[in-house]
Structure 1
């Protein structure tokens, strides 16, 4: 697999690369990103190898990420799929400058268009569910932007599965623009999205775009038990990457245990831990393109090597044993012999779905 071996994104004809370039590292505003020159080198290397799927958000590095991306993409805009998000608060003292409602949506998109220096956004995500805005308001606002030509496709991120399935159903029934992408945290450390979010996405036509497939860097092997003596992280992305990893729940004893297994498997395969962790997410048939967020050109080159990783059954078993989760009710219940006997009796059914 190569970056120019494209995949369809969800229930659409949009072609995207199998790894998406994340730009939360573009800019040093938060204290740990890439400066403009290094960000440019990362962007050029990704695009020159055929990559076309680039992810950003309205307030990544305080808006610097979108500004840099707009500058870098200007000469090659038409061949790129630019994805951004709205919902993040843009002014802490303004009650309507964040959230999912129409006023926040329109203002955020207009700002993103200016920073990205473009007439349209290829893919717009609801960044995070605010729990206060009616779904009809969100969906109709998004559809209006599609009809106006300012947005081409829609996605959603960090929202409960039941809410997304409800939204997709409403869109289908009313003839509004559907959701085609689901961005969620997914990695060997965070697999709870396998319970409902990922199966829902596969059933309803949303391509899964995992964020933090390296668990905030924990799966690269960069942290040790000594790093557990942190201050608990912060409530914002500024500071250090270690604090971000801790605040995100990745830098834990369990997380480091899983990282140890990834390191051992990588050593046996003569690969890097990052390549193994990224390649594992690509094995899930619902996953379209994990997001890689490199701070250096060297990190990007290493991450792209994940496209050429081939696992043995033994290595997959080791990774699964270290990271597996309980799917909970009703999934565990429905898989037990007694319920299946009651439902199917002696009937044997082949299900290739």
Structure 2
């Protein structure tokens, strides 16, 4: 792996690795993942390669992920070197109506629980894990700002929320002088590109760095699953369980995998590296979360930025994975926009005219 490059996260001064370590696989409570020894090896390997951005959540493996991570960080004496992120929203206690959701009561409970399990007195980034469709955004942002002022969290992130909600949260922060949203954590990969309809522009316009989850679609884009042999692994185990995030074993997606395999063969790189390289270089992306149950998987993933994907091959992947453009987004395509200007050429300004063009190490990833 070459010398790592760090991007600033959104419009902050916080420098994060372009590949971050996802700790959702730390623990075996969910029927997959790694035992403690393997998890610690993965943690050490990531740090040895210059990685500094680690992502977890209170709900991951029922709290084991945070607990082990806290032990690994303490044993290595690496807290000040790391950018540690966690999330809250999901209920960890049965039959407790206030044990989940985004409200102030659960938010304060959750951050204290994460700090205890992680054996730290602050979190560098704390995310709302998902929109609960209930709590006013004013309550969420005020409470998060209070936690920043109290020194318990440094930066604020949103994960898996509607675009309008993120825009309202950021506008509210600007209006009232709250700590702004610095990160948007969203699913993004060759088989899941729907954030391109709205979130990419949202992030670059409003100063939020996109942190990508599931860039390999739970192993599908690493070539782990075949059409007629997808009988084990996480996707097979969770097929049909009702969680759309794991329903990737479709013919459309296998056609994307076919093209990815061809591109990977042409440049002599593993499929996982090509898929990660593609998503890491998309507009707005600050960091890509990579998880691994085994050290060998992480070693492969950490080489994803050691090469440049030729433009013509990137274009082939773009075309093979192009999402359907639904209403109203087709009104914002070049063909429809051209109708507004009577065929005159408009929009020939250089990339980055509307948003600052940032040098290597930028937070938005815009080139």
Q: For the superposition of Structure 1 and Structure 2, which TM-score range results when normalised by the shorter chain?
A: over 0.9
CA RMSD of aligned residues (A): 1.8
Q: Could you list the per-position Cα deviations for residues 239-293 of structure 1 after superposition, in whole angstroms to 9, with x for gaps in the alignment?
A: 9442336642212111111111111111111110100100000121310111001
CA distance in 1, matches of 2:14, 2:297: 27
Does residue 294 (structure 1) correspond to residue 292 (structure 2)? The answer is yes
Q: Could you list the per-position Cα deviations for residues 125-156 of structure 1 after superposition, in whole angstroms to 9, with x for gaps in the alignment?
A: 00000000011011111111111100000000
Q: Could you list the per-position Cα deviations for residues 217-256 of structure 1 after superposition, in whole angstroms to 9, with x for gaps in the alignment?
A: 11111111125689xxxxxxxx944233664221211111
- Counterpart mapping for 1:275-286 below 5 A: 275-286=273-284
SS at match of 1:216: helix
Distance 1:199 1:98, change over 3 A: same
- Kept in 2: contact 1:275–1:309 (CA 8 A): no
Distance 1:344 1:172, change over 3 A: farther
Q: Which runs of 4+ in 1 moved over 6 A?
A: none
- Kept in 1: contact 2:235–2:249 (CA 8 A): no
Aligned residue for 1:191?
A: 193
- Tell me the CA shift for residue 325 of structure 1: 1.2
- Kept in 1: contact 2:338–2:344 (CA 8 A): no
Aligned pairs, how many? Answer: 345
- Kept in 2: contact 1:29–1:61 (CA 8 A): yes
Distance 1:152 1:60, change over 3 A: same
- Kept in 1: contact 2:235–2:248 (CA 8 A): no
Distance 1:77 1:261, change over 3 A: same
- Counterpart mapping for 1:88-99 below 5 A: 88-99=90-101
SS at match of 2:192: coil
- Tell me the CA shift for residue 333 of structure 1: 2.2
* Matching residue within 253, 256, 260 for 2:254: 256
CA distance in 2, matches of 1:69, 1:336: 47
* Matching residue within 340, 349, 352 for 2:338: 340
CA distance in 2, matches of 1:45, 1:11: 29
Aligned residue for 1:43?
A: 43
With normalisation by structure 1, the TM-score equals: 0.93
CA distance in 1, matches of 2:336, 2:120: 58
With normalisation by structure 2, the TM-score equals: 0.90
Unaligned runs of 5+ in 2: 353-367
CA distance in 1, matches of 2:5, 2:310: 23
Does residue 57 (structure 1) correspond to residue 57 (structure 2)? The answer is yes
Aligned residue for 1:322?
A: 320
- When structure 1 is superposed on structure 2, of 221-230 and 16-25 the one drifting more is 221-230
CA distance in 2, matches of 1:3, 1:154: 28
Q: Could you list the per-position Cα deviations for residues 104-129 of structure 1 after superposition, in whole angstroms to 9, with x for gaps in the alignment?
A: 10001100000000000110000000
- Kept in 2: contact 1:217–1:245 (CA 8 A): no
